[in-house]
A and B are shown apart, each in its own frame.
Chain A
Amino acid sequence: MKIKIRYFGMLTEVTGCEEEIIDFPEVVISELLEMLFIKYPKLKDKKFQVAQNNELVPFKTKISSKEIVLLPPFSGG
């Protein structure tokens, strides 16, 4: 399954891109994250939430969208 992953804020500094398409066989978001942590070890140290179908979802949620968003909290003002 091909999934588009979008990264916001400081996450793009770890991934080096704002979005990418990943071919991914697994079904749960946490498994996708495990794979991303191997690809980007520093991502593991970052705080973020995950959204699919434009909604924040727990990491144990099954992937049901072609687009996953990784969203960190911002503090700047």
Chain B
Amino acid sequence: MDRYNRHIILSEIGHKGQEKLSKSKVLVVGAGGLGCPVLQYLAAAGIGTLGIIDYDVVELSNLQRQILFGTSSLGKNKANEAKAKLQDLNQTINIIAYPEQLTYQNAIELFGQFDIIVDGTDNFETRYLINDACVITNTTLVFGAIYKFQGQVAVFNYNGGPSYRCAFPDKPKKGDVPNCSEVGVLGVLPGIIGSMMCNEVLKIILGIGHILSGELMCYDALSNQNQIIKIKRCETEIESVILNKNNFQNQKMNDLCSSDINEVSIEAFLNNKNVQFIDVRELHEQPKIKNFNVIKIPLSALESQLELISLIKDKAIFCQSGIRSKTAVSILKKYNINNCYSIREGASEIIGYINKSNNNVIHE
């Protein structure tokens, strides 16, 4: 117990409190700017079971704030990579990585296995999904969100307290509020907000202090101002989520971050001569596409190999499932490289299409 000595000598925690931490189960959704510091402090604190769900891969532009990762992490899945780093930090806890997307189909069963859910995601689609799944499974939600130099922290669905929808009832429409990687952010801001989120998680488990339930903390890093705004529980909002319970798993995710990304089928390009096919999978990934004019630029190396990308042709970008290709398109947009299209199909489906259109493709 030497590891937790500085906890145990606090009269508010002691052996009993440390035992509570080691028996608790916390799921962190999103291992990004907010998720990284939350995960680090939760793992260090000895949370018994720590779940991490994230489908995304580490990009160079993440390293400015996503402090669990290094250059060796580039192109690797964030959940798996975070698990590897955290297991080194604390080998005595159980860490479960889910390298997949949180969806309406898997959320309810997953949330049922944890005591507290931490929302460190970067888009409204997932944030409302998390809130509603927490309402349905009656699970406490620790919420944090950031914008440029400001952050919000709150605890929802805690002991009959309000939910996120009691503060913000309607999901903003696409383009109303910027999502994902569209805006800048001061690197340390998610560190500050993520640490505050972790603080709420620890207090909830330990049963000490004041919990930000029914309150939205608004922090401004430039002015150092901190304002706490009260939120009332709105029964009609909560009831409508519960009434929709049976339909929950039938809902489909809208696009997360691709508000202005052109997503098209490979079919549109097969007979197009003026197109450059770009495979952004890592070089080791299977199935390989042979004897078809494709250039391979792994997502992790994209920003360092921009000179390989044609400025004249249309760019048809694909990966294993159509998710990383969207990230690639948004990265290229940042560099003002236009006419980039994310191919909806993954590599194996693409091979099928190419075979069908009688191109000389060999499935390795």
A→B interface (CB under 8 Å): 8-10, 45-47, 49, 51, 54-56, 69, 71-77
Contact = CB atoms under 8 A, between A and B. Distances in A.
Contact of A54 (B35, B122, B228): B228
**What 9 A-B pairs have minimum CB-CB distances, sorted nearest first?**
A74-B145, A77-B122, A55-B230, A76-B146, A74-B147, A73-B168, A77-B34, A9-B147, A47-B172
Contact of A45 (B120, B176, B180, B183): B176
Nearest to A51: B229
B32 A77 contact: yes
A73 B177 contact: yes
A74 B152 CA distance: 7
Contacts of A8: 150, 218
Candidate in A49, A51, A56 with the most chain B CB atoms within 10 angstroms: A56
Interface string B115-130: 0000111111001000
22 contacts: A8-B218, A46-B176, A47-B176, A49-B168, A54-B228, A54-B229, A55-B229, A56-B230, A69-B227, A72-B177, A73-B124, A74-B152, A75-B147, A75-B177, A75-B178, A76-B33, A76-B178, A76-B180, A77-B30, A77-B33, A77-B34, A77-B122
Size band of the B side of the interface? 35 or more
User: Which of B35, B123, B147 lies at the interface centre, i.e. has the most chain A CB atoms within 10 A of its CB?
Assistant: B147
B232 A56 contact: yes
Interface of B: 30, 32-35, 119-124, 127, 144-148, 150-152, 167-168, 170, 172, 176-180, 183, 185, 190, 216, 218, 227-232
Given A8-B218, A47-B168, A77-B34, 10 more contacts: A47-B172, A51-B229, A54-B227, A54-B230, A56-B231, A74-B147, A75-B178, A76-B146, A77-B144, A77-B145
Contacts, number: 88
Given A46-B176, A69-B227, A75 B167 contact: no
B168 A9 contact: no
Contact of A56 (B122, B167, B178): B167
A49 B172 CA distance: 12
Nearest to B175: A45
A47 B168 CA distance: 9
Contact of A76 (B147, B167, B170, B218): B147
Nearest to B184: A76
A58 B167 CA distance: 10
Contacts of A9: 147-148, 150
A77 B229 contact: no
Contacts of B150: 8-9, 74
A75 B167 CA distance: 14
Nearest to A74: B145
A26 to B, nearest CB: 23
B124 A75 contact: yes
Contacts of A76: 33, 122, 145-147, 178, 180, 183, 185
